[in-house]
Structure 1
């Protein structure tokens, strides 16, 4: 695989209470220093950006692996929790929920359960965090679509723009 070059641009407005904007080919977001550190809090902070990288890496890795195994996925969604201990140690726990189509077999469920851990082990960002001493874990759930459209319900419940 050839080397990949990633270019991003950043602009900062005002002082520490200001905010910045970051832009890349497929990403644009506002950044800010957290209020607790004297900033405006009007944008993503470094911990949120770090977690979003770990989340995207895990989710994309899992989606790729599910596709490669030809698992009949109706959809999946995920909650990720980051905790910062008193010693400033971050820990991350992904909680993916894969919804399989009604035609899924018990074998499909077993495959998905195995892929939860494999995706964690293959996610490059997560593994970099582990090497840096950040505990990263996964607590997955599999269900069979019963016509409830769990994925759309999740989107609505969490007010995710689609």
Structure 2
């Protein structure tokens, strides 16, 4: 079964202008980020790629932990994308996901081990990660804790 996603975009000028995109529930302004010499209006392709990779990873991880019946108390994520600019050529170099998994008090040592294994496995199971693999270095640095109170 194939799914189609459609994005519509409008652009208001040259390189340092801005535009708008709309795709399903996503509606936002876009431009080149200030760090790269643009106006910094709305979001940009670098943030959007990081957002796609991060949300795909987080949803994949949550589903894997649910199927494994892990006693998850909290799940959050910080992801970092690195873009290199050499000779005015922009290259997305890496994405590192740093999930913070807090397991319920009753979690066992085996649950902690399973959470760590799944945190790393989710990267290779995520559709966006598979799409960029080989072009962008992908890493996972999980922090796993149990509720102590």
TM exceeds 0.5?
yes
- Please list every run of 5 or more consecutive structure 2 residues that lacks an aligned counterpart in the other structure: none
Partner of 1:55, secondary structure, is: helix
Structure showing the higher strand proportion among its residues: 2
**Partner residue, 1:137:** 139
C-alpha contact (below 8 Å) 1:57/1:125 kept by paired residues: yes
**Partner residue, 2:131:** 128
Q: 2:27 aligned with 1:59, yes or no?
A: no
Q: 2:105 aligned with 1:102, yes or no?
A: yes
- Equivalences for 1:26-105 in 2 at 5 Å? 26-85=25-84, 87=86, 88-105=91-108
Partner of 1:78, secondary structure, is: strand
Q: Number of residue pairs matched?
A: 145
1:52: how far off? Answer: 1.0
Query: TM-score, with normalisation over the residues of structure 2?
Result: 0.87
1:11: how far off? Answer: 2.4
Q: 2:11 aligned with 1:12, yes or no?
A: yes
C-alpha contact (below 8 Å) 2:81/2:92 kept by paired residues: no
Aligned-pair Cα RMSD in Å: 1.8
Q: 2:22 aligned with 1:23, yes or no?
A: yes
Distance across 2 between alignment mates of 1:38 and 1:98: 37
C-alpha contact (below 8 Å) 1:16/1:40 kept by paired residues: no
**Partner residue, 2:148:** 146
- Please list every run of 5 or more consecutive structure 1 residues that lacks an aligned counterpart in the other structure: 148-162
Partner of 2:136, secondary structure, is: coil
Q: After the TM superposition, which parts of structure 1 deviate over 6 Å for at least 4 consecutive aligned residues?
A: none
Query: TM-score, with normalisation over the residues of structure 1?
Result: 0.80
**Partner residue, 2:115:** 112
Partner of 2:115, secondary structure, is: helix
1:15: how far off? Answer: 4.3
**Partner residue, 1:3:** 2
C-alpha contact (below 8 Å) 1:96/1:139 kept by paired residues: yes
Structure 1's 32 and 97: CA in aligned 2 closer, same or farther, altered over 3 A?
same
